[in-house]
A and B are shown apart, each in its own frame.
Chain A
Amino acid sequence: MITLPLTRRRFGQALGALTVAFSLTPPVCAATGAGLPGSLAGNRMLDAWLRINSDGTVTVCTGKVELGQGILTALEQIAADELDIAPERIKLISGDTAQTPDEGFTSGSQSIEYGGTALRYACAEARDILLKLAAKKLGTAYDKLTIADGTITAADGTITAQGGQKTTYWKLAAEVDLHREASAGVPPKPPEQHRLVGKSRPRIDIPAKVTGGAAYVQDIRLPGMLFGRISRPPSYRAELVSFDEERVRKLPGIAAVVRDGRFLGVVAQREEQAIAGRDEISRAATWRETPSLPPPDDIYAYLTSLPTEDHLISSKGGDAPPAAHLSLAAKHTRPYTAHASIGPSCAIAQFADGQLTIWTHSQGVFPLRRDLAKALDMDEVKIRCIHAQGSGCYGHNGADDVALDAALLARASNGRPVKVQWMRDDEFGWEPYGPAMSVELRASLDEAGMVIDWTHDVWTNTHTTRPQKDGCNLLAAWHLAQPKLPGKPEIIPQPAGGGDRNAIPLYDFPRQRVTHRFIPQMPIRVSALRALGAYANIFAIETFMDDLAKAAKTDSIEFRIRHLSDPRAIAVIKAAATYSGWQSDMPAGTGKGRGFGFAKYKNLSAYLAVVVDVEVDRQTGRVRVTRATAAIDAGQVINPNGLVNQTEGGIIQAVSWTLKEQVRFTSEHITSRDWSRYPIITFPEVPEIRVTVLDRPNERSLGAGEAAQGPTAAAIGNAIAHGTGIRLRDLPLMPDRLKGAFG
């Protein structure tokens, strides 16, 4: 790994002859018009974001939550810099419906852009208010004051014999009134005044995580706490024919057996007793099953045969296609993909005095609370959801669902708290997968080898069934005797997009048509998985671009740059090329291959380019990714080590998705119910990774956590094509078709 804090000068040196023009425009996060910047817009009171305490601490509140991405460490850096305090003074409260701003979901790589921006403006304004108060108190001019770690001093040597020319935030705490609307009128600090932002800072949560400290919701133990487990139906539409509850109640330690419609659960004194109770439920219940899953061998034909709502999301150029020198067409597919968290979803629920408290690793405590209120027929204000960390989720997994499970079991437990953790097969069998997708591309080249026409059609379900405004999107609610039905599947609009995320090419094509063929009907439960549709759309675009480059007899990278005008895109591509030692004349078909992939995530977040090296075994067709060399431009970087950590992780996860992963099912059952039926990458298969960060402190921060997924997939596909001459377009890129097929 190389991480260079590249200044303009050093960047130019590093790239040798490749000089790149950097924009030094000021940050664009200044308040404009009526709207306040970032998440301030929905949470306008300053004291919703921070409070100055007389004990020498600052309470900072954020609606964003830690998912293992390091957000809390980065938010502390931002707040401490704006306030001129040591970050150790910050007491962070995150994701609590009783205490923090409502920032919706922690998703979509938006926490720095929205949550960080809000905090930055709120802290800058609070600092200004404190300084004005200090100036008044000390009888000194505002601009003569300096701040060091919360101590405000007159800087002009006017300290009197009385020692009165000094005060602190903590002394002013009782008098300062932050219960006022933010104006966003105080500009945050320019990057050259940052002491913490832009420098790597160790994550605040890691020491506890490597020493057995209490770090997760799984680690919370409450007085009198019971343990619960759920026994789901054997398949989505199975109907409960009979259930002998007594068989379960007779087991040792059972405190409650809950049956509501086809929702079955058990509460016990001890965790292993709850697990035994769950096993007994599966023996004591009989179900009537009907095949309800789509044909596993022909899933894409099935999906594309379903009714669609078609949205032309980009249209450029004349009606009639231009005369082409050469045209290509290709179809790409991506299977249902599991979030596959290492730790199954977990929550604790407790009813006391008509109030429900939930400890949850949900990505959105406020939306979860709304759906819990619907499912439980409760008033929202009687529910408090408190975030506690869970295992990494990479999108919408079972985190919200298990909160309702815990609530339903706690409702039968006489005020005692109940901890519920899903078993491994619950997690694999019931989580909402990343949707299967089909992407068809057509393109034409002119005689000069330039793309003159481009068509992209993407067939997909929704990429979000998170708790939302209409319906109730919590699994157990659908199984109750009085079921609450899910909401209508939503389209996430462009420019971010959902299934059509990154479907509009960043390349400058004179004529293009991009159509989102949205399939409302969901034969298998799906929702948001890291990068949403961008993973498949970028895989398709970037592998197709390689085919076009080959047809145009042009180097892959050169071909892309010819079609790009965004200087930052070109810079990141050239950086990846330089650091990987890219050469346009590498021998093809040797079994060793090299491939390239690029995208600007969502077409509005981080730029990432990656070069991947693979080795393909001639006999088995097995593909091993040996190395990945990436360059990323995420604008202003808050915590470089955190950004690299996220990027390395994104690359490795994408290698796993791309080479190995696919949810298996029959017409009746999901059969990927444990790690043997859903293998993921293991240590011997992990490539060497190098990530270069192109820091641009004068540009606004760009969401980065999902930037690697699509480019990595495409680079692997391109490397296989380079090494074997065989183009694979169906994910995952399995060895069967490569076996003995080259060399």
Chain B
Amino acid sequence: MTDVIELTVNGRTHQLDIAPDTPLLYVLRNDLELNGAKFGCGLAQCGACTVLVDGKPVRSCAYPVDAVQGRAVTTIEGLGTIENPHPVQKAFIEEQAAQCGYCINGMVMTAAALLKRNPHPDDIAIRQALAGNLCRCGTHARILRAVGRAAREMAR
């Protein structure tokens, strides 16, 4: 069963004729052709698909599209661009905080939400915020440094 769903992603409004229980992830990736959010597990376990809904990180692989109607969805594309990156994106580039990079979307989005909520997180707070985001390459040490760097940059 499809329905007309209206959703606002990165400030733009879209109307889609789609099954309301479709996970948001597939709408973002396949209908809106946004690459950032990744399919990792479909079980809300790994965090690769993280996007912000009204500023809060959610797992888009297990989040039905009709639940975001009337709310603002932000993906990593909406944070910044290569030319004009968000401070978190900039810090990840400066710290070279990626290996394969497949999990990095979730790291950046979760960190951006953390820094909005808590502009001065200590190391423990950063680790706690990212505790549900899995990385397999072992880039954790760099990711922690990048989030710390972004916090410092944003506090300037």
Contacts and interface: CB of A to CB of B under 8 A. Distances in A.
Contacts of B100: 67-68, 342-343, 389-392
Interface string B28-46: 0110011110111111011
B116 to A, nearest CB: 18
Interface residues of A, number: 63
B72 interface: no
Size category of the B interface is 35 or more
B75 A212 contact: yes
A389 B76 CA distance: 19
Contacts, number: 179
Interface string A662-704: 0000000000001110001111101011000000000000000
Contacts of B96: 202-203, 206, 641-642, 645
A686 B144 CA distance: 10
B12 to A, nearest CB: 14
B55 interface: no
Interface string A210-233: 111111101101000001000000
B141 A689 contact: yes
Closest 8 CB pairs of A and B: A68-B100, A652-B138, A212-B36, A392-B100, A209-B101, A649-B138, A391-B102, A212-B77
A470 interface: no
A674 B45 contact: yes
A645 to B, nearest CB: 6
A633 interface: no
Contact of A675 (B46, B102, B108, B140): B46
A215 B35 contact: yes
Given A252-B19, A272-B26, A648-B139, 14 more contacts: A1-B141, A68-B137, A205-B101, A206-B98, A207-B93, A210-B89, A221-B33, A343-B102, A391-B102, A674-B45, A683-B127, A683-B131, A683-B133, A684-B127
A421 B132 CA distance: 23
Most buried by A among B40, B48, B144: B40
Nearest to A202: B96
Contacts of A1: 141
A61 B141 CA distance: 33
B35 A645 contact: no
Interface in A629-659: 641-642, 645-646, 648-653, 656
A683 B77 CA distance: 25
Question: Which secondary structure characterizes the binding site on chain B?
Answer: loop
A456 to B, nearest CB: 28
Most buried by A among B41, B105, B136: B136
Contacts of A688: 141
A15 B83 CA distance: 43
28 contacts: A68-B99, A68-B101, A206-B98, A210-B76, A210-B85, A212-B35, A212-B36, A216-B102, A270-B30, A271-B30, A343-B40, A343-B100, A392-B100, A392-B102, A424-B41, A424-B42, A645-B142, A646-B99, A648-B139, A649-B99, A651-B138, A675-B43, A680-B134, A682-B132, A683-B126, A683-B140, A683-B143, A684-B124
